[in-house]
Amino acid sequence: MTAAEEHRRVAGAFTDRVRGVRPGAWDDPAPCAGWVARDVVRHLVEWFPGFLSAGAGVELPKGPSVDDDPVAAWTVHSDAVQALLDDPATSSRTLANRHVGELPLDVAIDRFYTTDVFLHTWDLARATGQDERLDRDRCAQLLEGMLPLDDVLRQSGQYGPRVAVPEDADAQTRLLAFIGRRP
């Protein structure tokens, strides 16, 4: 699957959760310490444009504030990322970052951003009482890739302490526990 196809699939699942938030639930607590549901969307809409701008000179269009309209903020943002990935020129562009080096732009988007959207899909679903199921194959693939990077990931501050789960837990449960969630 290409980075564009994977983003379309992952962002589509997140979009379903965004659109499924019932009135008044945007301020319900999220599984990320100190966050509410709207902060999950805020995180994705706010960190990635700076990452793209600094690393690849890409400026994404800005939508409304997440505080004013989280659905529209997400939609504008997600559509802009999809358009970038759908552009055939994107795969020949490079993203440079002091922490990750140089990567083809589409690979960087897939590795860092689309994965973040995938993981935060569970957070938004949990916060708002929606379907929490994630693609089991992607969960297994991500867990396999992240396990050897345990120390590096913990030092980044992006993940909480690992949560103990039974060894025979499914891939989603093990992945969520690995990144510090309590599934």
CATH of the domain at 89: 1.20.120
- pLDDT of amino acid 172: 97
140 shares a domain with 60: no
177 shares a domain with 88: no
Helix (H, G, I), strand (E, B) or coil at 87: coil
- At 137, give phi and psi (nearest 5°): -65, -40
105 shares a domain with 26: yes
Could you list the residue range(s) of the whole structural domain that residue 123 is in? 3-131
One pLDDT digit (tens) per residue for the chain, 183 residues = 999 999 999 999 999 999 999 999 999 999 998 999 999 999 999 999 999 999 999 999 999 999 999 999 999 999 999 999 999 999 999 999 988 889 999 999 999 999 999 999 999 999 999 999 999 999 999 999 998 888 888 777 778 888 999 989 999 999 999 999 998
- pLDDT of amino acid 138: 96
182 shares a domain with 105: no
The H or E element spanning position 95 is strand 94-97
Report how many domains make up the chain.
2
Q: Which among 110, 131, 152 is the end of a domain?
A: 131
- pLDDT of amino acid 154: 74
125 shares a domain with 41: yes
159 shares a domain with 73: no
Q: What is the pTM of this model?
A: 0.94
- pLDDT of amino acid 158: 77
37 shares a domain with 99: yes
65 shares a domain with 106: yes
151 shares a domain with 98: no
45 shares a domain with 7: yes
23 shares a domain with 87: yes
178 shares a domain with 105: no
The DSSP secondary structure of 127-164, one letter per residue, reads HHT------HHHHHHHHHHHGGGHHHHHHHTSS-----
d(CA 159, CA 180): 6
Q: Which among 131, 149, 167 is the end of a domain?
A: 131
- pLDDT of amino acid 168: 94
